[in-house]
Amino acid sequence: MSTTHAGRVVRDPNVTPLIDVMLVLLIIFMIVTPMIESGIAVELPTAEHLDPEQRELPLTISIEAGGEIHF
């Protein structure tokens, strides 16, 4: 809160930083929106599907407190 010459408290919020941020966001969105609408060609990788019989089983490794290793 700030005070005036007479020592009274002025309770009006300072909205200048809010307006600055909103204007910057407006400019950013005005620049980015046309790019999103036009799009960019992207080549995505294709996935190979394996049959369930061809998949390998996961390998489980456990180490005991005595140092024994089990696969």
State pLDDT tens for residues 1-58: 555 566 777 788 889 999 999 999 999 999 988 877 777 788 988 877 767 666 677 7
Contacts 24+ apart (CB under 8 A), 48-52: none
Task: Kindly state the DSSP code that residue 65 receives in the 8-state scheme.
Answer: T
Contact partners, residue 59, CB within 8 Å, separation at least 6: 71
Q: Cα–Cα distance between 6 and 41 in angstroms, integer?
A: 65
Report residue 60's pLDDT band, with 50, 70 and 90 as the boundaries. Answer: confident
